[in-house]
Amino acid sequence: MSAIKKQKIEENVPIETTNRQKIVASVPQKGFFGHPKGLFTLFFTEFWERFSYYGMKAILVYYMYYSVSKGGLGIDQQTAIAIASVYGALIYMSSIIGGWVSDRLIGSSKSIFYGGILIMFGHIALAVPGSMTMFFASMILIILGTGLLKPNISAVIGEMYDVKDARRDAGFSIFYMSANMGAFLSPLVVGTIGMNYNFHLGFGIAAIGMFLALVTYVLTRKKNLGLAGSIIHNPLPQEERKSTFAKLGLAAVIIAVIVAIAINAGLLTIQSFINIVGILGFVIPTIYFIYMYRSPKTTKEERSHLIAFIPLFLASVMFWSIEEQGSTILAAFADKRTQLDFAGIHINPSWFQSLNPLFIVVFAPIIGLIWVKMGKKAPTIPVKFGFGLLFAGLSFVVILVPALLGGTHALVNPLWLVLSYFIVVIGELCLSPVGLSATTKLAPAAFSSQMMSMWLLSNAAAQALNAQIVKFYTPETQMTYFGVIGVVAIVLSIILFALSPRIQTFMKDIR
C-alpha cells in the first residue's frame, strides 16, 4: 500500500476524493473564458464530433426512404423512421459499454480516442456506394464508437471542476453550446450536399468532421486536460481480467450464433428486432440502476441520490421522445407536409434540422444568465425538468393549429414548424444542461462514467419508445398523434411539479 493511500485511510478520507482533488489540481484552471483550459479541447472535439453525427443524421431518414433512382435505399417510410429510432436507441444503449470500458479498463481519455476512430470509419462506410450490408456495417461502427465517446467526454468535463465549483453548471452550458454549434452547421453543409448532389458525398463530409475532432483532441489533450480522463476509477483487478474477458467472449459468440439461427429461421426480422430494442430500452437501465443501488461501493447518501434520479430519468425519457422526433417524424413532416417554396427560396427539408441547435446557441446564454441572476431563488432541478416537459408537450400541440386553421391535408406554412422547434428548445435548455450537471453531482463515486451512461440511456429508452409509437403516425392519424403525445407530456409535467419538493429531499444538499 502506498504512503498516500495509507495516510488517507488513516484520516478516513476516501481515496476517490483524493483522486478528484489531484485531477482538479492537474488541470490548468484558467484559460478558456475563465474556465479550465481543458474545456477548449473538449469544446472543439465535441463541435466536430457533433458536426459529423448530426450531418449524417440530417439526411439518414431521407437516404433510407428515398427511392433507389434518387440515390436512396428505397425502404418504406414508416420502417425507415422506426429504423432511425432504433439506431438512435442503440447508440445511447452502447454508452453502457463505453462507461464500463472507461471505469474498469482504459479510462475516459482513451475511450474518447478509440470511440472517435470507430465513428470516423462508420461514416466512411456510409460514404461508400454499396448495399444494405455497408449501411448496417456503418451503423455498428457508429453505435460502438459513440458509446465509447459520448458518456466519457461529458464525464471528463465533470472531473475538471471541483464538485462545489460555482463555474460547473456554466461549464456544461458552454460545452453544450459547442455540440449545438456543430449540429447547426452540419445540416446546412452535409444536408445541402447530400440532398442536392449525392447522399454518399454528404456522408463523406461527415467523416471529415470526425477526423477533425480526433486531430483537435490528440494535439491538445496532454497540455490542457492534465489527469482528467486518465484515472481508472473502478479498475478491474488483474486476476479477474482473464475470466471476465473469457465470459464476454463466450457471450458474444453465443449471441452471434443465436442471431444467425434466428435470421435463417425467419424469426429475426426488422420488426421483431425493433420490438426487442423497445424492451431493452427500459430493461437495461432498470437492471443497471438496481446494480448501482445495491453495490457495496455505493454509500447511503449516494443511494438517496439514486432514488432522486429515478423521476428525473423518467421525465428525461418523455422529453427526449418528443425532441428526437425532430429528426424522424418532423423530418418526414417537413418533406411531405410543409410548403418548401417560401419567401422566394426553396427550402431544403434537411435545413429544419439546424433550427434546434441554432435556437440553443442563441438562447442558452440567456437561460443560463437567468438562472445565475436568480441565484438561490432559481427553480430546483426537478422543477426545471418539469418546465422541460411542459414546453416539449406544447411543441407538439402547436402542430395542431395549422390543421385546425387550414385543414388536415393542406401544406403547412414552414413558420409553424419553426415555432415547434423553438418551443421544444426552450424545454431542452431547462432540462438537458441541468441534467448533465445533475448527473455528475448525483453519481456514486465508483460509477462516475457509468452514471453518465445512465443519463444517456434515458435517450435510448426514449428512442426505443419512439420505434414502437411511430407506427401510429400516418397521413390520416398525424393530428391525433401530435395531440395525444403533447397532452401526455403536459400532464406528466404537472405531476413532476407536484412531486418536486419530495424529490429534492432525496437530493440532500444538491441543487
How confident is residue 249, by pLDDT bands cut at 50, 70 and 90?
confident
| CB-based burial, 439-476: b 16+ in 10 Å, e otherwise | bbbbbbbbbbbbbbbbbbbbbbbbbbbbbbbbeebeee
Taking the model in full, what pTM does it have? 0.81
Residue 135, C-alpha cell as written in the block: 449501411
pLDDT of residue 470: 87
Under 8 Å between Cβ of 297 and 234: yes
Q: Give the rounded percent of residues in the chain with a pLDDT score beyond 70.
A: 93
Q: Which residues contact 136 (CB under 8 A, 6 or more apart)?
A: none
The three-class DSSP label of residue 181 is helix
pLDDT of residue 475: 78
pLDDT of residue 14: 44
Q: What is the mean pLDDT of the chain?
A: 84
How confident is residue 13, by pLDDT bands cut at 50, 70 and 90?
very low
Residue that wins the pLDDT comparison between 388 and 28: 388
Helices (H), 94-131: 95-101, 107-127
Q: Which one, of 155, 192, 154, 191, lies nearest residue 175 by Cα?
A: 154
Any idea what DSSP says for residue 130? -
d(CA 313, CA 424): 18
Q: Span 100-104, mean pLDDT?
A: 83
d(CA 216, CA 277): 34
Helices (H), 187-299: 192-196, 199-225, 238-264, 270-294
pLDDT at 434 over 50: yes
pLDDT of residue 7: 35
Under 8 Å between Cβ of 511 and 397: no
Q: Which residues contact 211 (CB under 8 A, 6 or more apart)?
A: 120
pLDDT of residue 223: 82
pLDDT at 2 over 80: no
pLDDT of residue 396: 94
d(CA 192, CA 179): 20
SS3 string of 457-487?
Answer: HHHHHHHHHHHHHHHHCCCCCHHHHHHHHHH
How confident is residue 6, by pLDDT bands cut at 50, 70 and 90?
very low
pLDDT at 467 over 80: yes
pLDDT tens column, 277-335: 889 889 988 988 898 888 888 888 888 888 889 999 999 999 999 999 988 999 888 88
Q: Which one, of 312, 285, 329, 281, lies nearest residue 463 by Cα?
A: 281
Lowest-pLDDT range, 72-76, 188-192, 497-501?
72-76
pLDDT at 74 over 50: yes
Whose grid coordinates read 468535463? 157
Lowest-pLDDT range, 127-131, 262-266, 506-510?
506-510
Q: What does the domain layout of the chain look like in residue ranges?
A: 27-226+269-506
pLDDT of residue 160: 81
Residue that wins the pLDDT comparison between 60 and 95: 60
pLDDT of residue 511: 65
d(CA 121, CA 359): 31
Neighbours of 132 (CB within 10 A): 10
pLDDT tens column, 269-278: 778 888 888 8
d(CA 436, CA 251): 32
pLDDT of residue 315: 94
Residue 412 bridge partners (DSSP): 338
pLDDT tens column, 149-173: 887 887 788 788 777 777 777 777 7
The three-class DSSP label of residue 416 is helix
Query: What would the CATH number be for the domain defined by 27-226+269-506?
Result: 1.20.1250.20
pLDDT of residue 415: 93
